[in-house]
Amino acid sequence: DTAVSQTPKYLVTQMGNDKSIKCEQNLGHDTMYWYKQDSKKFLKIMFSYNNKELIINETVPNRFSPKSPDKAHLNLHINSLELGDSAVYFCASSQVSGGARNEQFFGPGTRLTVL
Amino acid sequence: GQNIDQPTEMTATEGAIVQINCTYQTSGFNGLFWYQQHAGEAPTFLSYNVLDGLEEKGRFSSFLSRSKGYSYLLLKELQMKDSASYLCALWSGYSTLTFGKGTMLLVSP
């Protein structure tokens, strides 16, 4: 199936741990994103990569580090997890960046719970 | 910056028509998206408006007025499966998609 996939779907961990979330898209898109959706369902951009280059880095703690080994993958590594990091993290991709229409396709989400 | 306002919740009856409004303040944007998100699932694309006016797509239509800073999503012939959150989002170029907080629509029999 052509899609955006994420692993794991659920992640439960202790405060202070380091964890990674993986994202892959097989849509041939050039741009990939990470979003955070909090408990109030507010969806906010964290990072955007275009052809493996970082183009957006919103105000996100530097404990969060995205890595793009190739344009089909964008992984998110989180160091020293805190309670406030508990949220659903969505990966997304789109065909183009810049000024053109930018329909984004979302992965299924990773529900992170920090205890 | 950008500010996007949507009603938090709406209720409607199966078979009815519902209009979900979105007002925004921004210094500029390329277009406006509507996404649907069912509970526990990913957002999925519904519509995109770049010019003023109405875009129709089956039971769903979306309207944009740039001069009024206003958009709405119109859902006709409501079905139970339309119960979901509807997200208005501004596309500002450079991959920046800014979402509103979403409107939770509950469709009852």
For residues A43-63, average pLDDT: 85
| pLDDT of the residue at A2 | 66
| pLDDT of the residue at A73 | 95
Residue A1 in tokens: 């199936």
| pLDDT of the residue at A99 | 47
> Is residue A56 over pLDDT 90?
no
Across the interface, whether the CB atoms of B91 and A109 are under 8 A apart is answered no
Q: Which residue of B has its CA nearest to A36?
A: B99
Range of A13-22, A97-106, B94-103 with top mean pLDDT:
A13-22
For residues A13-39, average pLDDT: 94
CA distance A61 to B87: 26
| pLDDT of the residue at A74 | 95
Chain B residue numbers touching A94 (CB-CB < 8 A): 95
Across the interface, whether the CB atoms of A101 and B101 are under 8 A apart is answered no
CA distance B6 to A56: 25
Q: Kindly provide the residue ranges of all beta strands, DSSP E only, lying in chain B, ordered along the sequence.
A: 3-5, 9-13, 18-25, 31-37, 44-49, 53-57, 60-65, 70-75, 84-91, 97-99, 103-108
CA distance A15 to A80: 7
**Partners of A23 in the beta sheet?**
A6
| pLDDT of the residue at B91 | 87
- Reported as a single tens digit per residue, the pLDDT across B3-60 is 999 999 999 999 999 999 999 998 888 899 999 999 999 999 999 999 999 999 899 9
- Reported as a single tens digit per residue, the pLDDT across A76-106 is 999 999 999 999 999 999 887 554 566 889 9
**Least confident span in A25-39, A54-68, A78-92:** A54-68
Could you say which residues from 11 to 40 on chain B have a Cβ atom under 8 Å away from some Cβ of chain A?
Answer: 30-31, 33, 37
| pLDDT of the residue at B11 | 97
| pLDDT of the residue at A59 | 78
Residue A10 or residue A71, greater confidence? A10
